[in-house]
C-alpha cells in the first residue's frame, strides 16, 4: 500500500518531512473494521497511482484520539488534503472519488 502509517508520536515529524518533499499531504482517518474506509482506501490507492506528488498519511482513529480531536474528526472515513502545513484544501467525511481529489490537486499545482 502506498500509505504511511502514523500515530500521535510520529505524526508531526512525518508530516513536516513530506512537506519538505513539496508533496500534497492527505490525511486519511479510518478504521480497519470500517467498510466505507476500505472503499476509500481503494480511491486513495488510485489517486497515488496517478499522481506522484502526493503522500497519504494513514491514521487509525481508534488509536489516535488526540489527532482525531485536533482535526475535528467525528466519523470515518474522513479525508483532509493539505498543500502546505497551513493550507488545508479539502475536508470531507465519507467516500470521495479519486477523480474529484485529483481535480482539486491539479488545480493547485
Assigned CATH topology for domain 3-108: Glutaredoxin (3.40.30)
Query: Quick one: cell of 39?
Result: 472503499
Q: Which residues contact 45 (CB under 8 A, 6 or more apart)?
A: 1, 2
In the chain, what is the straight-line distance between the N-terminal and C-terminal CA atoms, in Å? 25
CB 90 within 8 A of CB 81: yes
- Name the pLDDT band for 104 (thresholds 50, 70, 90): very high
- The tens digit of pLDDT for each residue in 28-82 reads 999 989 999 999 999 999 999 999 999 999 999 999 999 999 999 999 999 999 9
Partners of 5 in the β-ladder:
58
- CA–CA dist 91, 72 (Å, integer): 10
Structure pTM? 0.95
Q: Which residues contact 12 (CB under 8 A, 6 or more apart)?
A: none
> What is the per-residue pLDDT for 47?
97
Partners of 62 in the β-ladder:
none
Q: Which strands make up the sheet holding 24-30, listed edge to edge?
A: 3-6, 54-60, 24-30, 78-84, 87-93
Amino acid at each position: 500500500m502506498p500509505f504511511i502509517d502514523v500515530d500521535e508520536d510520529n505524526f508531526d515529524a512525518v508530516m513536516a518531512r513530506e512537506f519538505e518533499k513539496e508533496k500534497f499531504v492527505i490525511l486519511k482517518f479510518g478504521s480497519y473494521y470500517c467498510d466505507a474506509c476500505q472503499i476509500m482506501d481503494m480511491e486513495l490507492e488510485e489517486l497515488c497511482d496517478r499522481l506522484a506528488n502526493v503522500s497519504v498519511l494513514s491514521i487509525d482513529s481508534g488509536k489516535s484520539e488526540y489527532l482525531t480531536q485536533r482535526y475535528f474528526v467525528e466519523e470515518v472515513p474522513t479525508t483532509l488534503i493539505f498543500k502546505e502545513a497551513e493550507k488545508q484544501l479539502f475536508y470531507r467525511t465519507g467516500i470521495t472519488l479519486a477523480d474529484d481529489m485529483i481535480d482539486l490537486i491539479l488545480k493547485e499545482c
